[in-house]
Structure 1
């Protein structure tokens, strides 16, 4: 082996959307080239190359001085066999970081800037620290509507794009912030049962206790290859899958991997993220759900109307028919908060169970009805009745069961985690407020979404009468440490407001 080559070693560490390389501190090449920890290097073998962030190792059990280790993701990208001889070079500095620095200083970026940034992120030229700098810069200084368009277009061009060869491909998306809002898992089977194409690809949770993909994973496989996705959609007219494996706007998934631990979800990134993913998935007609409430992402109607204009501006220029529904965001939707509990709610609605959450049922029917009215054969105003008939007749349940089987059914167990704490009312009165953010935070501390059976189960909703000592909700957790953190947060602030009926904030939203 020559002095400038190293043996490739696979390091069984999942670094999640970041390529990481490992060199031993005593490696001759490491010393000769003056590599530094956290610098970026380029690894080459047989014409293939991969960029990675360098970690320096002192333990020969991880890598020997004559070896280069690669994390799972980087090893898979390099597509070489373990033991292959590789060369290592300094990576060329990413020129697009200049644009990020300009954005940090408050300057406006153009299309070329955003395209350059997204191309570098997809090529793994950005470390997670650099991606965080970009996210903070665009979140802190905001993006004007043209910059949102540029970013959306750049994210769309970063990966593959599906073409279903149909004039009408429907989808819906909620901007988030409302726990338990699992309407997609009801809208998709209803709309697909009507015969419309609705290939629903969803992200996993960013800052919430569950995303659609996390919840559907309780029932069926969601990590589908593009070929599987196409076959299922052609066969069943819909799907409920994770979008990450389809390489649709992959830069979005990479940015989400940084947004999640930072708890960042800025307006500009949100618009670009949603529309780039929907366009990449081949959607032609889209419903956007914007919940409004005192503890929702959007607190006031004027903010909702401004956000609607931004969505409409970008969608219009990217040729997608978009309609916005502004909905009631004063409290969580349904009862369960967390993947298993939310999946239980969905199945209760589909089964027409009399105990099913009425608010989840109603909201889903209104959303599905609006999508069905995209059908040129359906008159305006008829969509809700058609959606309700599909649900009540059992056709929606049959379609969901068909989707579950097509995607790969999982054994369903709706028993929550063993550790349980009941949170009770400390006074008599009426539930006048439920803090969405606090309830989501309690559910996340309890372990959701990583622990599928963890979360919060609501027993009381807005307008319900309570007596002192009545159970408001139950916290479920898998591990004692998570359980303790969730209990402590609930003890500090249980997220509920108890008062008299006159104090309850009425919703400005009516369907």
Structure 2
């Protein structure tokens, strides 16, 4: 407790201080008020990179650490903030088909319209005993499950329960949270996606580069091979926002359906390609072509179906997904070009409609940046199951639709890897 009050007082803490605090957090020795004070103190007086390393190390030590007894265990993670963007559900079956081990444990959404675990739960059971999870990974080279049953970095789960309602996501705490979970899961190689854009979590290239350097420093100290990619975060990725709609997008991409969202397909292939290039037998630059061949050949779909079956499949038809029974449409109020899409507002509308608690709730986007529209053209459709949710979402759309219609030259520009 003395170390906690020292941090609240703005002091710099050492390795043993963070070990003691994190152990107390994992053991639930602190009240919510004390936890909140610690989170706010770390956010106000930003942790230096050595403190972030000590915090990460302590969080790994607070729970179970998995050992897959393989030299190459890969994972992919995005820092979040972009609606849709369900690339992990495509990356896992692609890299597992290549033969890489990819035990993907994910969280459920707390402030977003859907997390990977929420979307996978539409297709299969995600709450698996650890023994079952381990067997699935050994057999199929991958999984897509909720991480709550594995006891990985339990202190992080406690801190998240305080951070998310307060919308606190400081760089140091973000780095410690993400890397501790990946290292505890036994990953040796990680591809990290940092999207940037006007309404993304990270809004400028200098900010992205600072975050990248912090991730690389801590990963290096923890002996985790890290490949950071800075990507386009100007708009949602995919057409659906909400568990069922995002599951539809994922299955359409895996089935090579012509209706599948191209942006989701291309981003997933590029991320999968980067992971495949961790394989020492793959020449640098060949990963994308290998990933594309795995997807186009149907091998990724077969692997995904095998993982779904192993985890306990649930009935789902991507051609007729069970969407919310109530809906309304949002149309363009002027002619021009889609010059901006507000990620924050789109996510807010989807959550007001009921996502992720109501799996069939959310938004179905029909226009993206650069699309020409005439006044009255359909921009997106909102789905909900309950009249109150539908009305809350409608009122939010009336205040701000999340779309900006203007000239082609009004689009924001970002210079990113993809």
Corresponding residue for residue 442 of structure 1: 349
Question: Could you say which residue in structure 1 is the equivalent of 2:82?
Answer: 178
Name the residue aligned to 2:237. 333
Aligned-pair CA distance for 1:140:
2.3
In 1, are the aligned partners of 2:198 and 2:412 still within 8 Å (CA)? no
Q: 2-side partners of 1:476 and 1:163: how far apart?
A: 43
* Mapped contact 1:159–1:249 kept (Cα < 8 A): yes
**1:226 Cα shift?**
1.4
State the shift of 1:141 in Å: 2.0
- What runs of 5+ residues in structure 1 fail to find an aligned partner? 1-94
Q: Which runs of 4+ in 1 moved over 4 A?
A: none
Which of 368, 374, 379 is residue 472 of structure 1 equivalent to?
379
Q: Find the aligned partners of 1:146 and 1:152 in 2 and give their Cα distance.
A: 10
Q: Is the 8 A contact 2:84 2:242 kept in 1?
A: yes
Q: Which has the higher contact order (CA 8 A, sep 6+)?
A: 2
Distance 1:265 1:453 in 2: 28
Aligned residues: 415
Task: Please tell me whether the aligned partners of residues 59 and 156 of structure 2 are also in contact (alpha carbons under 8 angstroms).
Answer: yes
Please, which moves more after superposition, 297-306 or 257-266? 257-266
Q: Does the CA contact (< 8 Å) of 1:206 and 1:263 recur in 2? A: no
- Give the counterpart of 2:249 among 330, 340, 345: 345
Q: CA deviation at 1:207?
A: 2.1
Could you tell me how far 1:206 is from its partner in structure 2?
3.0
Deviations 1:239-297 (A, max 9, x none): 00111100011111122222333232222111111100000000000000000111101
Q: Counterpart of 1:194?
A: 98
Matches of 1:368 and 1:510, distance apart in 2:
14
If the length of structure 2 is used for normalisation, what is the TM-score? Answer: 0.97
Task: Decide which structure has greater strand share.
Answer: 1
Question: How many Å apart are 1:406 and its aligned residue?
Answer: 0.6
1:418 offset after TM fit, Å? 1.1
Whether the 8 Å contact between 2:52 and 2:175 is mirrored in structure 1 is yes
Q: 1:266 to 1:201 in 2, by over 3 A?
A: same
Q: Which structure shows the bigger proportion of residues in helix conformation? A: 2
Match of 1:498 in 2: 405
SS at match of 2:174: helix
Equivalent of residue 113 in structure 2, options 191, 209, 220: 209
Per the TM alignment, residue 101 of structure 1 is displaced from its structure 2 partner at its CA by: 2.9
| Deviation for aligned residue 1:143 | 1.2
Aligned match of 2:212: 308
Q: Determine if the alignment matches structure 1 residue 237 to structure 2 residue 144.
A: no
Distance apart, 1:432 and its partner CA: 0.6
Q: 1:378 aligns with which of 273, 278, 282?
A: 282
Cα distance in 1 between the residues matched to 2:38 and 2:349: 29
Answer with 132-141 or 284-293: which moved more: 132-141
Aligned to 1:228: 132
> What is the SS of the residue equivalent to 1:221?
coil
2:413 is the counterpart of 1:509 = no
> Within 5 Å, which residues of 2 pair with 1:1-150?
95=1, 98-150=2-54
Paired residues of 1:290 and 1:324 also in contact (CA < 8 A) = yes
Q: Corresponding residue for 2:359?
A: 452
2:46 and 2:414 map into 1 onto residues whose CA distance is: 29
Q: Provide the TM-score with structure 1 as the length reference.
A: 0.80
Q: Which of 333, 342, 355 is the aligned partner of 1:426? A: 333
The answer to whether the 8 Å contact 2:82/2:233 transfers is: yes
Q: Which deviates more, 356-365 or 407-416?
A: 407-416
**183, 186, 189: which one aligns with 1:285:** 189
Q: CA deviation at 1:404?
A: 0.1
Q: Does 1:254 align with 2:158?
A: yes
* 1:318 aligns with one of 219, 222, 232: 222
Cα deviation digits, residues 51-91 of structure 1 (max 9, x gap)? xxxxxxxxxxxxxxxxxxxxxxxxxxxxxxxxxxxxxxxxx
Instruction: After TM superposition, give the deviation of residue 197 of structure 1 in Å.
Output: 0.5
**Residue 403, structure 1, aligned to residue 310, structure 2:** no
For residues 391-445 of structure 1, the C-alpha deviation after alignment (integer angstroms, 9 at most, x for no partner) is: 0000000000000001111112512111211111110000010011111111111
After TM superposition, the structure 1 stretch with the greater mean CA deviation from structure 2, 178-187 or 223-232, is: 223-232
CA RMSD of aligned residues (A): 1.1
Where does residue 19 of structure 1 map in the other structure? none
The 8 Å contact of residues 85 and 236 in structure 2, kept in 1 or not, is answered as yes
Q: Specify the SS of the correspondent of 2:122.
A: coil
Report which stretch shifted further, 216-225 or 384-393.
Answer: 216-225
Instruction: Give distance in 1, aligned partners of 2:359 and 2:6.
Output: 42
Partners of 1:206 and 1:454 in 2: CA distance = 16
